[in-house]
A and B are shown apart, each in its own frame.
Chain A
């Protein structure tokens, strides 16, 4: 069944051809609430075998149109997601939300250009994409192969604070956050089903990545906990978790990072030593810990040493 789907994808669109090596498991859709479908990302780093389908991606179907939240991690991943949407509905894809600047969340956008949707991003996303887009593309193509990342797609609509998108008797709310996971995090909330899409403001199982503000992240998380959602779709992790209970591990990690980094700054041990020591007790509680934790400590240190 899954194999046949792959062949079908290959036949539908030439840009999907590199996908034949992609793991079938990463293309299973789960309907987490009525009309909300999530494709779970694998807890790995980008590789030719996973087409950078490492973050959760999905879509919301209204009465009149479809909203895509996180279009996927590469052109091929986005094309696969688009084909899956077309298996579920023929409604027009009018909105693609670019949750934040990181490559695993945005490079699938190129596969949706033909739909001419509104590409919606945080008001700070264009600046972040201008500074990093080409660099990310180059690095991703070193891994996936030339042309496999896809174009850097700029948002066509900015959200500076909050916005609503009507999908036809289904209004979803978008919220632009202060610096947290990155300085351009945009979350989506479907009030009808009480489903929150915090994107990478929520990591579950996979070690969080800090690229904005540690204190800011804790503050935004606190605000999101009070939004009245029953479930959340993490940027990385299972298709859904209970909300706000599902934020507990992330919060513990971030608080430990704050406390132990502050201590390291007070003790003046330097970034190199802090990377070895800070929040080492979290090792073993997260996948890919050693790949990202040291960078998180570096980011935390440079933020907190100015307090």
Chain B
């Protein structure tokens, strides 16, 4: 996986299209990326199964909120989000377990430049369904590396969970987990030593409900500082009240873990 991420990073850095024949080059770049991630499996453009919502123009290059939705009941087993022209284009690769629900995924990502974003859903029959959105980079003083990493590092591993709406057996529950982590992408410099801070980013997130998997996610360096993951899980009657556990592993192999109470009802 480390090797794959590296080769993808190189693609992201050197595969940037020039102005001429821009659209064709962007499509060719995506074809390369798709092959690197999924091999030669063909994808169906399936706007009715999967949708990707991102701002047409990023307001903040260091924090672009995106939402992926899939049609409920379409048996999605995995979701992949690719930011074509970022260094480290694969922002997230999510696979869902028995307590998971792929109908909603929200993330906050960095966007370095004008780029396509792709969301690809894999269904249980092995088919791939893709959709794309073009995002213009932010202007002005906005930069993909934000301020405030010092505080994130000081509080590294702290987490918050937000549940919204009713919690009821058999019904998807909307949740969001916030993870304090600087997600250093190797571009930041340590102010005391004046050396570049080595890459250190959230690489893996595992979410379980009473030890049964909701989702597991692998990430490259495109997630924003303090990753925020919005997702859905479906508790059974015997799961409530229960414990939602989040385990985060970063690229230094540091592991952060926290459990949250899921009440029988209410929010």
Residues of A within 8 A of B (CB): 45-46, 102-104, 123-124, 126-128, 130-132, 135-136, 139, 179, 182-183, 209, 211-213, 268, 270-272, 275, 291-292, 294-295, 298-299, 302-303, 305-306
Query: Does A291 lie within 8 Å of B147, measured CB to CB?
Result: no
Q: Main SS of the interface on chain A?
A: helix
Query: Does A209 lie within 8 Å of B143, measured CB to CB?
Result: no
Query: Does B187 lie within 8 Å of A123, measured CB to CB?
Result: no
| Cβ-based interface call for B188 (8 A) | yes
Contact partners of A209 in chain B: CB under 8 A: 140-141
> Of B67, B142, B230, which is in contact with the most chain A CB atoms at under 10 Å from its CB?
B142
Query: Does A130 lie within 8 Å of B189, measured CB to CB?
Result: yes
B:83-136 near A, CB below 8 Å: 106, 108, 112
Contact partners of B142 in chain A: CB under 8 A: 211, 295
Query: Does B147 lie within 8 Å of A130, measured CB to CB?
Result: no
| Cβ-based interface call for B63 (8 A) | yes
- Given A268-B164, A275-B59, A298-B63, decide whether A291 and B139 contact each other with a Cβ distance below 8 A: yes
| Contact of B191 (CB < 8 Å), options: A104, A126, A271, A306 | A126
| Cβ-based interface call for B178 (8 A) | yes
Q: Main SS of the interface on chain B?
A: loop
> Of B63, B178, B196, which is in contact with the most chain A CB atoms at under 10 Å from its CB?
B63
Of all chain A residues, the one with the shortest Cβ separation from B58 is: A295
Contact partners of B21 in chain A: CB under 8 A: none
Q: State in angstroms the CA–CA spacing of A59 and B164 once bound together.
A: 54
Query: Does B148 lie within 8 Å of A127, measured CB to CB?
Result: no
| Cβ-based interface call for B15 (8 A) | no
| Contact of B147 (CB < 8 Å), options: A45, A128, A270, A295 | A128
A-B contact pairs, 29 of them (CB 8 A): A45-B139, A45-B140, A104-B141, A128-B147, A130-B194, A130-B196, A131-B187, A131-B189, A135-B112, A135-B145, A179-B148, A182-B147, A183-B150, A209-B140, A211-B141, A213-B147, A213-B148, A270-B106, A272-B55, A272-B67, A295-B138, A295-B142, A299-B146, A302-B63, A305-B160, A306-B158, A306-B160, A306-B180, A306-B226
Q: State in angstroms the CA–CA spacing of A123 and B150 once bound together.
A: 14
Query: Does B143 lie within 8 Å of A295, measured CB to CB?
Result: no
| Cβ-based interface call for B40 (8 A) | no
Contact partners of B48 in chain A: CB under 8 A: none
Q: State in angstroms the CA–CA spacing of A177 and B138 once bound together.
A: 26
Query: Does B148 lie within 8 Å of A183, measured CB to CB?
Result: yes
Q: State in angstroms the CA–CA spacing of A212 and B160 once bound together.
A: 22
Query: Does A302 lie within 8 Å of B226, measured CB to CB?
Result: yes
Nearest 3 CB-CB pairings of A with B: A130-B189, A127-B191, A295-B59
Query: Does A103 lie within 8 Å of B141, measured CB to CB?
Result: yes
Query: Does A127 lie within 8 Å of B190, measured CB to CB?
Result: yes
Query: Does B191 lie within 8 Å of A123, measured CB to CB?
Result: yes
Apart from A131-B188, A302-B226, list 19 A-B contacts with CB within 8 A: A45-B139, A45-B140, A103-B141, A104-B141, A127-B189, A127-B194, A182-B147, A209-B140, A212-B148, A213-B147, A270-B65, A272-B65, A272-B67, A291-B140, A294-B59, A295-B60, A299-B63, A302-B63, A303-B148
Residues of B in contact (CB 8 Å), total 38
| Cβ-based interface call for B162 (8 A) | yes
Of all chain B residues, the one with the shortest Cβ separation from A136 is: B143
Contact partners of B187 in chain A: CB under 8 A: 131
| Contact of A298 (CB < 8 Å), options: B59, B106, B194, B230 | B59
| Cβ-based interface call for B172 (8 A) | no
Contact partners of A211 in chain B: CB under 8 A: 141-142, 146-147
Q: State in angstroms the CA–CA spacing of A292 and B194 once bound together.
A: 31
Query: Does B147 lie within 8 Å of A271, measured CB to CB?
Result: no
Q: State in angstroms the CA–CA spacing of A45 and B138 once bound together.
A: 12
Of all chain B residues, the one with the shortest Cβ separation from A154 is: B194
B:141-194 near A, CB below 8 Å: 141-148, 150, 155, 158, 160, 162, 164, 178, 180, 187-191, 194
Contact partners of A212 in chain B: CB under 8 A: 147-148
Contact partners of A294 in chain B: CB under 8 A: 59
- Given A179-B148, A298-B59, decide whether A127 and B188 contact each other with a Cβ distance below 8 A: yes
Query: Does A132 lie within 8 Å of B145, measured CB to CB?
Result: yes
Q: State in angstroms the CA–CA spacing of A24 and B145 once bound together.
A: 35
Q: State in angstroms the CA–CA spacing of A245 and B158 once bound together.
A: 41
Contact partners of B178 in chain A: CB under 8 A: 305-306
Q: State in angstroms the CA–CA spacing of A139 and B144 once bound together.
A: 12
Give the distance to chain B from A127, nearest Cβ to Cβ, in Å.
4
Of all chain B residues, the one with the shortest Cβ separation from A101 is: B141
